[in-house]
Amino acid sequence: MTQEYIKKAETLIEALPYMKSFQGQTVVIKYGGAAQLEPELKAAFAQDITLLQYLGIHPVVVHGGGPQIGKVLEKMNIPTRFVDGLRVTDQSTMDVVEMVLAGKINKEIVNLINAAGGAAVGLSGKDGRLLLAKKLQYYRPREDEPPEIIDIGLVGEVTGVNAALLRTLQEHHFIPVVAPVGAGEAGETYNINADLVAGAVAKAMHAAKLILLTDVAGVLDQDSHLVSTLNREGVLAMIEAGTIKGGMIPKVNCCLDAVAGGVGKAHILDGRLLHAVLLEIFTDPGIGTEIVG
């Protein structure tokens, strides 16, 4: 038993420099995948975020909700269509997206954090004009022809972030939990990819870290081994070689954009691991893949 206590003490001592380093800093976490669905992982995530707040670190949570949206659309007999992984969003779909993201999921996360002892406040990107957006122009490349323009409906991209609103919440010791729904200039509502929202928020807040929780270990090399650290040149080389492909490409591009925009480091972590956020921030080796400038 004594050895177990000593090990716990050693873990705290290892974490001490990181606690000092990140105190007063903002960490933006994109929360999604299995970590958002499995009860044990959900509870552990809420504990992680609460502990960060207690240590004087300022977490901002941006969440997704694709699987939950899909289930509700199915129950309501609203057909779903995807183009290259992007949900085509007409007005009926947008109504469901907003209801599920800003209503059900957002408030569930807020409740979990508050139950863990934190102080969370849920926001849609429409609250206080937190996320300004415009329609995403999607282009599909074609060989020997101009790119094909595809209308994917009310899918948006971030054009502005009201960082002052988030800072005000932080100054009053609240944890912002953001649903990735934005508003256009004319008041139209847009569904925005949560990774892109997290990256935009991280840049606007000059965050020390951007963390994307996924359902994979991180970026893997051609032998399926985890790559612990990558810079821009390394990322581009792995994309060119086809080692980074599919859904990982937009994630690494999001990280590169965040780091280029002033974020200290970006991380792609396996959210299926209990306390993944704490393991990344407070241990020497960390977990997942960190992307630096």
Q: Tell me, what CATH number does 90's domain have?
A: 3.40.1160.10
For residue 57, give Cα distances in angstroms to 53, 84, 173, 279, 291: 5, 37, 10, 15, 21
The model's pTM: 0.93
pLDDT of 196 > 70? The answer is: yes
Residue 278 forms part of a structural domain: yes
Q: What is the mean pLDDT of residues 171-195?
A: 95
Q: Return the pLDDT at 1.
A: 66
State which residues form the domain around 99: 23-291
Residue 49 forms part of a structural domain: yes
The total of structural domains in the chain comes to: 1
Residue 1 forms part of a structural domain: no
Q: pLDDT for 36-60, tens place per residue?
A: 888 999 999 999 999 999 999 999 9
Residue 194 forms part of a structural domain: yes
Residue 75 forms part of a structural domain: yes
Q: Return the pLDDT at 144.
A: 72
Residue 38 forms part of a structural domain: yes
pLDDT of 11 > 80? The answer is: no
Residue 3 forms part of a structural domain: no
What is the average pLDDT score of the chain?
92
**What string of DSSP letters covers 175-231?**
EEEEESEEE-TTS-EEEE-HHHHHHHHHHHTT-SEEEEEESSSS-B-TTSPBP-EE-
Residue 11 forms part of a structural domain: no
∠ Cα 250 21 120 (to 5°):
65
